[in-house]
A and B are shown apart, each in its own frame.
Chain A
Amino acid sequence: MTDDDLQIQLILDHYKEPRNYGKIQNETTSITEANPVCGDTLHFSLLIESGRLVDIRFVGQGCSISQASASMLTEYVKGRPVSDIKTIKPEVVLGLIGIELGPAREKCALLSYNALMKALAPYN
């Protein structure tokens, strides 16, 4: 197996068994973002306490890249200070996906990132 094959296995694992899937009952805020071109949709539910993203869950539908990146991103940011999360660059999310994506599919990968940043915009 090449490194790419291993990474694809990891993406499929997140796609088939997404981490942090669902909705938080006492959420602080939530956001739904979609890519109208392909119908990829993500709904994030966030619990923020004392400037910290205590919990984050998502529900979604779409291609493996969009869903796996959401799953990976929730693992990556959960528990961290909001101010810290806001400094994350899109390249980090592409790095989590870890395989070469064409420009069209980068949009799939960054749907989660864009949604999260939009949801966090009003918070410090």
Chain B
Amino acid sequence: MINALTIKKDFPIFSRKIDGRPIIYLDNAATTQKPRQVVEAIVNYYYNFNSNIHRGIYRLSEEATDLYEKSRENVEGFIGAGKDGTVVFVRNATEALNLVAAEYSRNLEPGDEVILSTMEHHSNLVPWQFLQEKGVVLKFVDLTPDWELNMDQLETLLTPRTKVVSITHVSNVLGTINPVKEIGKMAHENSAIFVLDGAQSVPHMPVDVSTIGCDFMAFSGHKMLGPSGIGGLYGRKDYLDHMHPYMGGGEMIKQVWKEHATWNDVPQKFEAGTPNIEGAIGLSAAVDYLRNLGMENVRSHERELIGYALELEEDLKIPGLRSYGPRNLDVRGGVYTFNIGDIPTFDLEMEMMSRGIRITGNGIHPHDVAQSLDRDNIAVRSGHHCAMPLMNELGVAATSRASFYIYNAREDVEKLFDGIRMTERAYAK
């Protein structure tokens, strides 16, 4: 079991007060706070081990190299990478997905297809859009009325030309937990590879790439208690071995001549230049922290919080409040995306025709909602959440989003709904 109040003590930022009151941090899908253990691991590296890794023939460098590579092993173990897979350290999930899209796609030919979904974050969409230049076709799995992926449609989208299926594990807007094992199976039966965006799952639930059967998985350190600027690309070694390097430079080579070079082994082949050493060490400390809590416990804690949020939503009946995401908690992560009233996209003609000469809309814009909640020190995100195609699908210009983590308690959920209720009253026309 997770005791959020005990956990909170590990996070120095929560001793800070703004306007004399504590911070209620509900923007964890964007980034999480950092426990003392992670910050201390980074400080310890700089105080005692700082040096450039690999090739240094002195003890400091050997120790730093050891810390860096042990961090990799730790992270690999955390996500269940077996001996056939590895983790390439990158900046974040975005870079990981760009790497796969750019380099795996060298195998693709005009007319080949990549299947994505309507709920993808821009980071698992735009890198694949680049491939359209070389004639690759993008296809999209849509949502069911229950905010889940339409698996029947996925079945029909798969063709012999489908080479890649790249889908998010958990939607950063809807909180939908997708049936990734099944998706992977379908992709593989169709001889396509399965790329998983784990940015919103690895921090929040047990994720085991070997069990899931994905070929690549992207994740970000800063969304799982780690520092920013470090993330991972899990990949099958046989694929990575055959892929072209993403960036050229130091460390990624074996030998270099004036006109050509040979590549280092995986994963160093994809880590050109001095890497984010402190980041890897910090991420490893974050992994230790999470492993100590137990990812099953993390998941059940968040399940309880989102369940409580949906319960309060139903009980309080705040006028105009609606949320987006599955009501079935088995497939719902700790993300609560909502609006108060309609927040339609602007249409001048519609505005003039339906509304005449004054604003009569009943919606409260997400920016107003976020600013109003901020007056109570409640941090939520508002906007399109880097998922503009999904916003279009929802028929809204923007939404507000509260997302939970290990240090949030039921009390935080109550404060959120108090804040929403006060905001609705203040703006009521």
Contacts of A59 in B (CB 8 A): 348, 351-352
Decide if the interface of chain B is mainly helix, strand, loop or mixed.
Answer: loop
Interface residue B83 (Cβ < 8 Å from any Cβ of A): no
Total A-B pairs in contact (CB under 8 Å)?
Answer: 68
Residues 350-368 of chain B: 1 if any A CB is under 8 Å from the residue's CB, otherwise 0?
0110001111010001111
B365 touches A17 (CB 8 A): no
A67 touches B359 (CB 8 A): yes
A16 and B371 alpha carbons, distance in the complex (Å): 17
Closest to A64 in B: B368
**Shortest CB–CB separation between residue B232 and chain A, in angstroms?**
29
Contacts of B356 in A (CB 8 A): 22
Contacts of A37 in B (CB 8 A): 383-384
Interface residue A112 (Cβ < 8 Å from any Cβ of B): no
Residues 10-41 of chain A: 1 if any B CB is under 8 Å from the residue's CB, otherwise 0?
00100111100111000000001010011111
Interface residue B346 (Cβ < 8 Å from any Cβ of A): yes
**Shortest CB–CB separation between residue B359 and chain A, in angstroms?**
6
Q: Which of B358-382 contact A (CB under 8 A)?
A: 358-359, 361, 365-368, 371, 382
Contacts of B384 in A (CB 8 A): 37-39
Contacts of A40 in B (CB 8 A): 365, 367
In-complex Cβ contact of B352 among A17, A23, A104, A108 (8 A): A23
B427 touches A12 (CB 8 A): yes
Interface residue A114 (Cβ < 8 Å from any Cβ of B): no
Contacts of A64 in B (CB 8 A): 365, 368, 427
A105 touches B357 (CB 8 A): no
Q: Knowing that A12-B426, A60-B359, A61-B397 touch, tell me 6 more A-B residue pairs with CB under 8 angstroms.
A: A21-B357, A38-B397, A39-B345, A39-B346, A39-B398, A61-B346
A residues apposed to B, CB below 8 Å: 12, 15-18, 21-23, 32, 34, 37-41, 43, 59-65, 67, 104-105, 108
